[in-house]
Chains A and B, each alone.
Chain A
Amino acid sequence: MPVVVGLWCVAGFIAIAAVAIAIGRFSRASALIYGASLLVSLAALAFGLQHLIGAGFPDMVDYPLGVPGIGAHFRLDALSAFFLVVINLGGAAASLYAIGYGRHEIAPLRVLPFFPAYLGGMNLVLLADDAFSFLVAWEFMSLTSWALVLANHRAPENVRAGYIYLVMAGFGTLSLLLAFGLLAGPDGSYAFESIRASHPVPFVAALTLLLTLLGAGSKAGLVPLHVWLPLAHPAAPSHVSALMSGVMTKVAVYGFIRIAFDLLGEPVWWWSLIVLAIGAITAVIGILYALMQRDIKRLLAYSTVENIGIVFIGLGLALAFRANKMELPAALALTAALFHVLNHSLYKSLLFFGAGAVLTATGKRSLEDLGGLIHRMPNTAIVVLIGCAAISALPPLNGFVSEWMIFQAILVGPQLPQWGLRFMVPTVGALLALSAALTAACFVKAYGVMFLGRPRTPAAEAATDADRFSLSAMFILAAFCFCAGVLPGLVIDILAPVAQSLLGARMPVQVHLPFSLAWASILPIAESRSSYNGFIILAFLVISGTFTAMFIHRFATRATRRSAIWDCGYPDPSVATQYSSSSFVMPIRRVFGATVFDVRRSLDMPRPGETRPGSFHLKVWDPVWRYFYGPVARLVLRSATVLNQLQFLTIRRYLTLVFATLILLLMVVAAWR
């Protein structure tokens, strides 16, 4: 029965979209539409959660739709239930946020119908249980989000972004199509049950996994298929960017898990090498590029790339353990990955909302034009600070928990029998640590330049705080980040059925009564006696911090005097002397620059005595453009130009073509046996 409820929710979204087409042009429509989407996503969220807590036994239904003879199958199990929770949490938050934010929309008809349809598409992907329905839903999701990316289509760069996005999406779908083709076999048994029943030979399975990596990876943003994210995510309206970045990438992760862990049967150990390598590279490259960005939304998009890399590291570990029949570590790694999925959806949506609030308040997306917003937008500043701390994996917030669990899984790595993995796992661990540290740097920069310091433009000076809907959405997400960090045990227990159903094992029960001091502390697996308790850490921090403050205020002094900035005795009134985004990351750029970046600098320094101002330009490119996509595009266009000659032949030449082909075929006949 539950799956039908899910389908009803999808239907609800589609219905809202239809209504939106009808009433979109009225001024009140946006609040109405977003309110309705909020309700539906809350319903879907509730029932997904309920199904997940109810141990998530699979529940199926099929209709005589789709491919004839196969029909359209839908299924709800623990995995899809969990992702339903993730997606509809993000969806609900985005809808709530948009009730306020949507008022600023210029052309509502370009957003309102597609937003609920987009949510519906993502939900449908999770419910689909045969290749055809899956791909239809998958591509429907891409299409609607593409339309949303083009909501502001008058800016040429947005049109370009939409184009690149849709082409990448098409590429991904085609690779998934090929993967399903392998799984379904020549006689086309597309239903997932029959695929589960069949056991492909290792080579075919490996090929399928690679194709799945291409397909799901291009949607999730694995390097080098990540190029569309930093273009498309900023182009869309901020609540949509939040969905694309925080939620849709999770649907891609779901697709990978569904195929790699559910449909593909037993993995082979070296698959995990590939997944781990790609995941680690993605994490590091993603965050390095995020550091280099000045546009806040592009920065966030690149940081999404990084987080997806972290998730795939977890998945790779899970594959490795599973291939070696080490169920418990596998469960740990998978749970960690899923936990990170949840976390990232929370704080990335939060951060995009914050970026949207700043964008509407100042009209600026470039960090270099902001500053000092903590004074003008105090509430936004608080929630964004929580988001930044969470994404930087700082205890006691949630980002740390999932990364800690992944580290725990990594520490089990050396028990793997294969030498390749033994050397790979620590390396991945080091890279993960690197990316975590760089994340902290990245968000210190982002928050520091955006909210701290002195305003760099009048627009930033005049900013005002976001409306109450947007704020409440952000505060709710922040609260979730907090709770998931303080009581991770609850989340892990809720996640348990997923690992149970996929791997036949689960992490030990975390939250057990009666209440003891050890309550709600994470115990990854029995043999590693490590543990972490966010609750107690928080208590410690709060107690010692407040105690110290009170002590000093009570027994020492609380006298405070305001005065001008000291700045080592040389205060400079110009706001341009503050550290900017580019200057903040200059050391990191210098350290990693030569290897990973494609930096173009131009310095124009007037000679002494000249009065004209000097100038320094810096552009950091994604080298994958220069070394991969650029050449490919050029190749296609060049061959198009070459072939285009054939449009201008004379009739006689065309006849010659026909004649030649005829003779060729005749020769074939003559030569045939």
Chain B
Amino acid sequence: MALMAEIAAQAVQMLLVLAIAPLMLGITRKVKARLLRRIGPPIWQPYLDLWKLMHKEAVLAHNASWLYRTAPYLVFAATWVAAALVPTYATNLMFSWSADLIAIVALLGTGRFALALAGMDVGTAFGGIGSSREMLIASLAEPAMLLVVFTVALIAGTTQLSVIAETFIGGVGVRVSLGLALLAFVFIAVAENARIPIDNPATHLELTMVHEAMVLEYSGRHLAMIEAAAALKLMLYFSLLACLFFPFGMATKDQSEIALAIGLGSYLAKLVVLAALLPIGETAVAKMRVFRYPIFLGSAFAAAALAVFLLFVSRGGL
């Protein structure tokens, strides 16, 4: 019986992230539009888009292979699973131990791998540009991400997200290194989610496209899957940010209804705040040239490395 309950809790989380991911997208778009003095689409617009796309027939190039058709589902599944494994409103969900932070990052990598291949499948120049740049960004972001993981793992003594969250809720005091790690993490999240200044989700200008270029040929349900995956990814990074740096409010030991409710509420609140902050940041800066990515992500790397080394100092070694 308890087993069923736990499975239910896990299932709830899976559906939850899936359900509110497009909403986050909608909120960011809306806020952004307002900042640009536009009315902007309603915040549930993403749901409508997805629904529409799902019902359109998928148009495939003549030489599209089976890989092209399966990739969207793989990307979606990988991202969804990753998102579902991040503790959102409660820790110690039943499957949370089956993958730690590194595994979650790697799962996103699986999705990226599939998408990059799909981008090259029909053999267009745009697809190639997209895949190539996507892999470049990833290869620059990954080391920084690892160092962020390293920082939190050094404090929590593990890479297991639930445990990290619990440790931080237990209170580790304000640390410079955590601040730096946060900075680095934000940079990485921006890059990974193809947001300004790295990429612009709202453009089809070939010189600047990265993510959009990869998925240029997609249509119909496949495109829907990819869009959903992108939303889930954004969502995942929001949850990670919340869980790693602002875990307060999460339901940890006592899994009582109250605690769960508090956890859920605080979680949603955090998400909304983040979803509102992102476009503000985006409107503040301008899109970068491709060959300035290294500098952007390099600074993320530097911040993360600094975080690690400061940690030694602040602790005088472990």
A and B touch in the complex (CB under 8 A): yes
Which residues of chain B from 45 to 75 have any CB-CB distance to chain A below 8 Å in the complex? Answer: 54-67, 73-74
Q: Which residues of B contact A529 (CB under 8 A)?
A: 157-158, 160, 163
Q: Which of A371, A417, A430, A445 contacts B301 (CB 8 A)?
A: A430
| CB atoms of B113 and A389 under 8 A apart | yes
B139 touches A441 (CB 8 A): yes
Residue from A452, A552, A566 whose CB has the most chain B CB atoms within 10 Å: A452
CB of A590 closer than 8 Å to a CB of B: yes
Q: Are B103 and A404 in contact (CB under 8 A)?
A: yes
Interface size class, chain B:
35 or more
Q: Which residues of B contact A552 (CB under 8 A)?
A: 54, 221, 224-225
Given A408-B159, A448-B120, A565-B122, verify A395-B131 contact (CB < 8 Å). Answer: no
Chain B residues whose CB sits within 8 angstroms of the CB of A568 once the complex forms: 126, 204, 206, 216
| In the complex, A145 has a CB within 8 A of chain B | no
Which one of A63-71, A251-259, A536-544 is at the B interface? A536-544
The reply to whether A521 and B97 contact each other, CB–CB distance below 8 Å, is: yes
Verify A585–B132 contact, CB threshold 8 A.
yes
Asked if B267 is an interface residue, CB under 8 A from chain A, the answer is: no
Bound CA–CA A437/B59 (angstroms): 32
Flag whether A345 is at the interface (Cβ < 8 A): no
On chain A, the residues within 8 Å of B112 by CB distance are 440
Which segment of A208-216, A494-502, A571-579 sits at the interface?
A: A571-579
Q: Which of B110, B291, B317 contacts A395 (CB 8 A)?
A: B110
Contact A395 B106 (CB under 8 A): yes
Q: B43 contacts the other chain (Cβ, under 8 Å)?
A: no
> What chain B residues lie within 8 Å of A575 (beta carbons)?
123
Q: Is B261 in the interface zone, CB < 8 Å from A? A: no
The answer to the question of A353 belonging to the interface, with a C-beta cut-off of 8 Å to chain B, is no
Decide if A532 touches B163 in the complex (CB within 8 Å). no
**B98 at the A interface (CB under 8 A):** yes
Q: List, in ascending order, chain A residues with CB within 8 A of B98's CB.
A: 521, 531-533, 536-537, 540
Q: Is the CB of B128 within 8 A of A422?
A: no
A385, B146: Cβ atoms closer than 8 Å: no
For B54, B98, B206, B305, which residue has the most chain A Cβ atoms within 10 angstroms? B98
Q: Name the A residues within 8 Å of B282 (CB-CB).
A: none
Chain B residues closer than 8 Å to A549, beta-carbon distance: 73
Residue on A with the closest CB to B69?
A560
Across the interface, B139 reaches (CB within 8 A) one of A440, A518, A536, A578, namely A440
Name the interface residues of B8-23: CB closer than 8 Å to any CB of A: 14
Chain A residues near B248: list those with CB within 8 A. none
Interface flag for A400 (CB, 8 Å)? yes
A residues less than 8 Å from B125 (CB atoms): 567, 572, 577-579
Interface of B is mostly: helix
A422–B74 CA distance with the chains assembled, in angstroms: 39
Q: Is B129 an interface residue (CB 8 A)?
A: yes
The main secondary structure of chain A at its interface with chain B is helix
What is the 8 Å Cβ interface bit string for chain B, positions 63-90, against chain A (1 contact, 0 not)?
1111100000110111011001000000
Which residues of A (148-192) have their CB < 8 Å from a CB of B? none
| Chain A stretch 509-524: residues in CB contact (< 8 A) with chain B | 517-518, 521
User: Which B residues lie within 8 Å of A521 (CB)?
Assistant: 97-98
Known: A530-B158, A587-B132, A591-B294. Is A453-B153 also a contact (CB below 8 A)?
no
Q: Which of A424-447 contact B (CB under 8 A)?
A: 426-427, 429-434, 436-438, 440-441, 444-445, 447
Contact of A429 among B61, B103, B150 (CB under 8 A): B150
A557 interfacial by beta-carbon distance below 8 Å: yes
A571 contacts which chain B residues (CB < 8 A)?
124
Question: Across the interface, do A565 and B81 meet the contact criterion of CB distance under 8 Å?
Answer: no
B126 touches A437 (CB 8 A): no
**Chain A residues closer than 8 Å to B305, beta-carbon distance:** 426-427, 430
Partner of A560, one of B57, B131, B145, B154: B57
Instruction: Tell me if B40 counts as interface (CB < 8 A to partner A).
Output: no
Query: A537–B67 Cα gap in the complex (Å)?
Result: 21
Q: Cβ of B123 and Cβ of A452 under 8 Å apart?
A: yes
B288 CB, nearest partner CB in chain A, Å: 13
Report the minimum CB–CB distance from B13 to chain A (whole Å).
12
- In the complex, are the beta carbons of B158 and A528 less than 8 A apart? yes
Q: Is B33 part of the contact surface with A, judged by Cβ < 8 Å? A: no
Q: With A549-B73, A559-B57 given, is the CB distance from A452 to B146 under 8 Å?
A: no
Counting CB contacts under 8 A, is B244 at the interface? no
Could you say which residues of chain B place their CB within 8 Å of the CB of A410? Answer: 150
Q: Which residue of B lies closest to A438 (CB)?
A: B139
A419 to B60, CA, bound (A): 57
* In the complex, chain A residues 392-417 whose Cβ is within 8 Å of any chain B Cβ: 392-395, 400, 404, 407-408, 410-411, 414-415, 417
The one of B61, B73, B107, B133 in contact with A564, judged by C-beta atoms closer than 8 angstroms, is B61
Q: Are B131 and A444 in contact (CB under 8 A)?
A: yes
Return chain A residues, CB-CB under 8 Å to B55: 556-557
Kindly supply a per-residue 1/0 record for chain A positions 348-392, scoring 1 wherever the CB is within 8 Å of any chain B CB and 0 otherwise: 000000000000000000000001101100000000010001001
A interface residues, tally (CB under 8 Å) = 90
> Chain B residue with minimal CB distance to A532?
B103
Q: Which chain A residues lie closer than 8 Å to B116 at the CB level? A: 444, 448
Shortest distance between the CB of B75 and any CB in chain A (Å): 9
Residues in A whose Cβ lies below 8 Å from that of B150 = 410-411, 426, 429
User: Which of A411, A423, A531, A541 interacts with B153 by CB under 8 Å?
Assistant: A411
CB pair A374 B67 closer than 8 Å: yes
Tell me if B109 and A579 are in contact (CB < 8 A). Answer: no
Q: How far is the CA of A444 from the CA of B84 in the complex (A)?
A: 26
The CA of A572 and the CA of B125, in the complex, are separated in Å by 9
Q: Are A394 and B106 in contact (CB under 8 A)?
A: yes
Q: Is the CB of B129 within 8 A of A579?
A: yes
A587 x B138 contact (CB < 8 A): no
CB-based contact B78/A557 at 8 Å: no
Report the bound CA distance from A572 to B126 in whole Å. Answer: 11
Task: Give CA–CA (A452, B221) in the complex, Å.
Answer: 22
Distance of A419 Cα from B309 Cα, bound (Å): 11
Given the interface contacts A372-B123, A454-B123, does A407 sit within 8 Å of B146 by beta carbon?
yes
Instruction: List 17 additional contacts besides A395-B99, A521-B97, A544-B14; criterion CB under 8 Å.
Output: A374-B121, A385-B117, A394-B110, A404-B103, A407-B102, A430-B305, A440-B112, A448-B119, A452-B67, A453-B123, A532-B102, A537-B107, A541-B77, A541-B81, A560-B59, A564-B61, A566-B59
Q: What residues make up the interface of A, taking CB atoms closer than 8 Å to B?
A: 371-372, 374-375, 385, 389, 392-395, 400, 404, 407-408, 410-411, 414-415, 417, 419, 422-423, 426-427, 429-434, 436-438, 440-441, 444-445, 447-449, 452-454, 517-518, 521, 527-533, 536-537, 540-542, 544-545, 548-549, 552, 556-568, 571-572, 575, 577-579, 583-588, 590-591
Interface residues of B (CB under 8 A from A): 14, 54-67, 73-74, 76-78, 80-81, 84, 94-95, 97-100, 102-103, 106-107, 109-110, 112-113, 116-117, 119-129, 131-133, 135-136, 138-147, 150, 153-154, 157-160, 163, 204, 206, 216-217, 220-221, 224-225, 290-291, 294, 301, 305, 308-309, 311-312, 317-318
Q: 19 A-B contacts, Cβ less than 8 Å apart?
A: A389-B110, A395-B106, A407-B159, A429-B150, A440-B135, A441-B139, A452-B123, A518-B97, A521-B98, A529-B157, A529-B160, A531-B100, A533-B98, A540-B84, A557-B221, A561-B57, A567-B216, A578-B123, A587-B290
